[in-house]
Copies of this chain bind each other. A is one copy, B any other.
Amino acid sequence: MTDPSFLAPLFRRWGKRTFLSEADIQALQSLPWTVRAFERDSYLIREGDSPPDCRLLLQGFACRHKIVRDGARQIVSIHIPSEFVDLQNCLLPESDHSVQALTRGEMGSVPKAALMEVAEANPKIGRAMWWDTLIDSSVFREWVVNVGRRDARSRIAHLICELAARMEACGLGDNGSYDFPLTQEKLADATGLTPVHTNRVLQSLRKDELISLSFQSLKVLDWERLRQVGEFSDRYLHQAA
């Protein structure tokens, strides 16, 4: 068994909404985890795979995406450390989308059968896992709204707000500054825009002094106005206080 301290961020996140007993923690830690580094842009899962493991993001960033026929890509979510990237594979036999690294990082893998056994024997863990997939769902719903009914400026502002809020909640923010793992091309793929237009919107957000963003580093200069531009409310994130 690997040193299980790498699970601490997960327990910290889950602990905010539910009290986990020592037995719960023990049960998860004693699973046969394997920890592996990954490179930027490497695929963690490909659409159509039936992976035997579940993967937990420990360091770095990843996204889920789908490719449409003409080769265009739509990113459907972005993941930060302490999040599972494919919990649905515990039950659904075949992956309906790909998971790709946005940066270098590290992930933990655990056989899904073993994870499901622990989830069934320890209801709090099972609930925490289910809960995580429900949050994913809620974020997907908000993304449908984002690409379906907001203009380019709002879409980008909203996505920036979401990432900042989620990173803040995980202690990954530093006084309004955040690692921003998306290139402009990927930001475009997440918002349903083109890279060119994304670039122009970012320039406008910078000119209006809402954000400063260059080379993977984001600073939110005016939270309140950025929120308004993005019509952002964190209700859908269901974050514990």
Binding site for B on A (CB under 8 A): 48, 64, 66, 68-69, 72-74, 76-77, 88, 91-94, 96-97, 120, 123, 126-127, 130-131, 133-138, 140-145, 147-150, 191-192, 231, 235-236, 238
Q: Which residue of B has the minimal Cβ distance to A128?
A: B91
Given contacts A77-B141, A130-B133, A137-B140, 4 further A-B contacts (CB under 8 A): A73-B149, A88-B137, A96-B142, A130-B130
Contact assessment for B91 and A148 in the assembled complex, using a CB-CB cutoff below 8 Å: no
A-B pairs, 7 with minimum CB distance? A148-B192, A140-B140, A147-B148, A96-B236, A74-B145, A74-B149, A74-B148
Determine the main DSSP class of A at the interface with B. helix
In the bound complex, what is the Cα–Cα distance between A93 and B76 (angstroms)? 24
In the bound complex, what is the Cα–Cα distance between A235 and B147 (angstroms)? 23
Nearest chain B CB to A128 CB, angstrom units: 10
Nearest chain B CB to A44 CB, angstrom units: 16
In the bound complex, what is the Cα–Cα distance between A88 and B145 (angstroms)? 18
Q: A91-B127, A92-B238, A96-B236 are in contact. Are A72 and B141 (CB under 8 A)?
A: no
Contact assessment for A145 and B68 in the assembled complex, using a CB-CB cutoff below 8 Å: yes
Nearest chain B CB to A169 CB, angstrom units: 16
Nearest chain B CB to A219 CB, angstrom units: 25
In the bound complex, what is the Cα–Cα distance between A192 and B77 (angstroms)? 19
Q: Which residue of B has the minimal Cβ distance to A96?
A: B236
Nearest chain B CB to A3 CB, angstrom units: 30
- Contact for A91 among B69, B134, B149, B231, CB less than 8 A: B134
In the bound complex, what is the Cα–Cα distance between A236 and B94 (angstroms)? 9
Contact assessment for B131 and A235 in the assembled complex, using a CB-CB cutoff below 8 Å: no
In the bound complex, what is the Cα–Cα distance between A94 and B77 (angstroms)? 22
Residues of chain B within 8 A (CB-CB) of A144 are: 74, 76, 140, 143-144, 147
In the bound complex, what is the Cα–Cα distance between A65 and B94 (angstroms)? 28
Contact assessment for B235 and A138 in the assembled complex, using a CB-CB cutoff below 8 Å: no
In the bound complex, what is the Cα–Cα distance between A61 and B21 (angstroms)? 42
In the bound complex, what is the Cα–Cα distance between A69 and B91 (angstroms)? 37
Q: Which residue of B has the minimal Cβ distance to A72?
A: B149
Contact assessment for B126 and A88 in the assembled complex, using a CB-CB cutoff below 8 Å: no
Residues of chain B within 8 A (CB-CB) of A123 are: 120
Residues of chain B within 8 A (CB-CB) of A88 are: 134, 137-138
